[in-house]
Chain A
């Protein structure tokens, strides 16, 4: 039991930090530009595939730097030549633009790398068990992922609190109208924020790729959860996104390891009476592990009923 708690906590925090790498970029972009980047998870996917492709030629460590830079540059180009032109039509067309972009990126990735998972592996130097706990080996690569995401989190924190651009961005988070005070630099700051935000998502992709499955549907799987994170945390709130990332990371990780259903629970208590068929039977026999994937969405609905602005948000979108 203790083993399960420790390993799941580690994995949950790791998953949460990965979510936050993406959610932070998404939140920054939303707060500054008012655009919820529907294609954010697609940039994460591009990060993973770019990482895979580059590491085949140069090895993992070059890819770790080069892939996010490339993807971030791509993001900046998308902002400059796509989003900026749609901006004058309003926020809904902007969201639609990024929706179309997500669609196209998925198709292109399928076209280039196919629909099957690619063989993207962790570098050999990190391919050893970091420590053994209750007889289970914890891979060093996962620990490395944790270190990287925490390091980037700290860098982001420092950049936001110590640099001039960071302070402006921070001001814009709490006072969206402040963005206008940036004067003639606004387009450049937007491009920068979009580039950095998508670059952060790509970092998550590069490091998550070897641990998870690098496949053309990975954006479609993760994207909706990412939006749950930012809505549950409160749109535009970085702290909220952080809390929600960890919450969802932990809840989902723990759920997956719990192979318990109502039926098994009652059986353990010695109560045999149970519906055997129909929808009730389905609900009776479903394990927590099986409902793991929908827990974020249940959480979303519950939070919205109880607190429409999200956990830590106070902004009306």
Chain B
């Protein structure tokens, strides 16, 4: 699912190379082979509630489904077309608001419309506003586009405070998802029914978005990302390509917003705020913007972190930000990028050579992370929670943050871990080179 080429260095000279008779077309794989990942995804979505039966798990999986659609739609911009947006939640939020209004209208007038088609309303809202705002913001990419997206986001979210009759002011607007036309005797009261609704839309949207990457538009998006000027000299207007990508991505963001509106039965100004735009950017980037599956991974990880970290610590957003900076600095390919890097080595069967080096790096890495977390938590305790005393527990151990010992221990862990990590870095790099070289030899 990668749009990057095989990474093999160029070797023999161009002038002496003889074109072979064999077909040079990239292998696209059989239809059955392409279907396998999707069947697996469908099985996971369908089977997950049977394994994870708790209410919390169901709620979390519903959120993940929504976030997957949202993050994938975001990556149509950032990963595929190279457009960094700080205002993608505008389309998510507008999708949610229009869906809530539409649901209320349907329920009040007893229109024969069932709940499962309501995301189309959000999609349409996203598309219309995407076309309008896309037309004025896609003239240029890069920094200017990013700033304009931020400006439009501020405009819309401040505007929502003025147009109270539509956006409902601070409280937002609510609706009731059970008052719609029933099909198959589903009233969508229980969360499990909503989950399957979200899961079905999630799979459909992911399939469509993947499909788009394989169309002329999808390929041109990549070309525009790489070199918009050259695209012009090929006879395509980069701005048209960007507008198309932008509005389609807004469409899917609108669907995600609809799903959120159905899930929570409410839409408020937080849906279209800059914070929500930041979350989707974080999710897509942490997962990895270079691969189609990246944002899926990111959506799952970020939702998991949001829900579980916020239970564990009050300053989870700080860790969230630090994780993001670490990914930007050390792994710009995101989690998916890191994982898929190992694909060729796994196929060639040389990946096991990395294990000793990775284990060696794991120890200082854990020490560094644990040390930093402990330092931050103790500082938080002393600075913000001073009223509750300096006694606290770290990883189950009782600790008094007002005494020097825990500071010395955790400080030493962080510093020692950092220095040791630096020291083993060449070993890991050497192991990687060796495994990669062996993988190349193993290839026919």
Residues 211-247 of chain A, each 1 if its beta carbon lies under 8 Å from chain B, else 0: 0000000001000100110110001000000000000
- Which of A66-74, A84-92, A136-144, A262-270 forms part of the interface with chain B? A84-92
User: What are 25 A-B pairs at a CB distance below 8 A?
Assistant: A36-B146, A36-B147, A86-B328, A95-B84, A96-B285, A97-B329, A103-B321, A104-B325, A108-B318, A111-B383, A111-B384, A228-B147, A228-B151, A231-B148, A231-B151, A277-B165, A278-B165, A279-B165, A282-B164, A283-B162, A291-B162, A294-B159, A300-B148, A304-B136, A304-B137
| Given A95-B84, A97-B329, A103-B321, A301:B165 Cβ within 8 A | no
Tell me whether B158 is interfacial, beta carbon within 8 Å.
yes
* Cα–Cα, bound, A104→B165 (Å): 36
Contact A100 B162 (CB under 8 A): no
Partner of B166, one of A86, A101, A279, A304: A279
Partner of A92, one of B142, B155, B274, B317: B142
Tell me whether A298 is interfacial, beta carbon within 8 Å.
yes
Give 7 closest A-B pairs by Cβ, nearest first: A297-B155, A107-B318, A103-B321, A104-B321, A100-B325, A294-B158, A300-B151
Which residues of B are found within 8 Å of A296, using beta-carbon distances?
A: 151
Majority secondary structure of chain A interface residues (helix, strand, loop or mixed) = helix
* Cα–Cα, bound, A281→B166 (Å): 11
Which residues of B are found within 8 Å of A96, using beta-carbon distances?
A: 84, 281, 285, 324, 328
Contact B154 A224 (CB under 8 A): yes
* Cα–Cα, bound, A82→B325 (Å): 9
* Cα–Cα, bound, A224→B84 (Å): 15
Contact A99 B140 (CB under 8 A): no
Which residues of B are found within 8 Å of A297, using beta-carbon distances?
A: 151-152, 154-155, 158
* Cα–Cα, bound, A131→B33 (Å): 81
Tell me whether B172 is interfacial, beta carbon within 8 Å.
no
Interface residues of A (CB under 8 A from B): 30, 36, 82, 85-86, 89, 91-93, 95-97, 99-101, 103-104, 107-108, 111-112, 114, 220, 224, 227-228, 230-231, 235, 277-279, 281-283, 286, 290-291, 293-294, 296-298, 300-301, 304-305, 308, 316-317
> Within the complex, what minimum Cβ distance (angstroms) separates B169 from chain A?
10
> Within the complex, what minimum Cβ distance (angstroms) separates A229 from chain B?
10
Which residues of B are found within 8 Å of A30, using beta-carbon distances?
A: 143
Contact A301 B155 (CB under 8 A): yes
> Within the complex, what minimum Cβ distance (angstroms) separates B228 from chain A?
11
Across the interface, name the chain B residue whose C-beta is closest to A96: B328
Q: How many A-B residue pairs have CB under 8 A?
A: 125
* Cα–Cα, bound, A296→B329 (Å): 33
> Within the complex, what minimum Cβ distance (angstroms) separates A315 from chain B?
10
Which residues of A are found within 8 Å of B165, using beta-carbon distances?
A: 277-279, 281-282
Which residues of A are found within 8 Å of B140, using beta-carbon distances?
A: 308, 316-317
Which residues of B are found within 8 Å of A227, using beta-carbon distances?
A: 147, 150-151
Which residues of A are found within 8 Å of B315, using beta-carbon distances?
A: 107, 111
Which residues of A are found within 8 Å of B281, using beta-carbon distances?
A: 96, 99
> Within the complex, what minimum Cβ distance (angstroms) separates B62 from chain A?
26
* Cα–Cα, bound, A297→B157 (Å): 11
Across the interface, name the chain A residue whose C-beta is closest to B324: A100
Give me 18 other A-B pairs in contact (C-beta within 8 A), A290-B162, A305-B136 excluded: A91-B143, A93-B328, A95-B146, A97-B329, A103-B320, A103-B321, A107-B318, A224-B150, A224-B274, A227-B147, A277-B165, A282-B162, A282-B164, A283-B162, A286-B162, A294-B159, A301-B155, A308-B140
* Cα–Cα, bound, A101→B147 (Å): 17
Contact A97 B328 (CB under 8 A): yes
* Cα–Cα, bound, A279→B167 (Å): 9
Across the interface, name the chain B residue whose C-beta is closest to A277: B165
Which residues of B are found within 8 Å of A86, using beta-carbon distances?
A: 328-329
* Cα–Cα, bound, A283→B162 (Å): 8
* Cα–Cα, bound, A290→B162 (Å): 8
Contact A298 B318 (CB under 8 A): no
Across the interface, name the chain A residue whose C-beta is closest to B317: A107
Across the interface, name the chain B residue whose C-beta is closest to A294: B158
> Within the complex, what minimum Cβ distance (angstroms) separates B108 from chain A?
16
> Within the complex, what minimum Cβ distance (angstroms) separates B229 from chain A?
10
Partner of A89, one of B82, B150, B332: B332
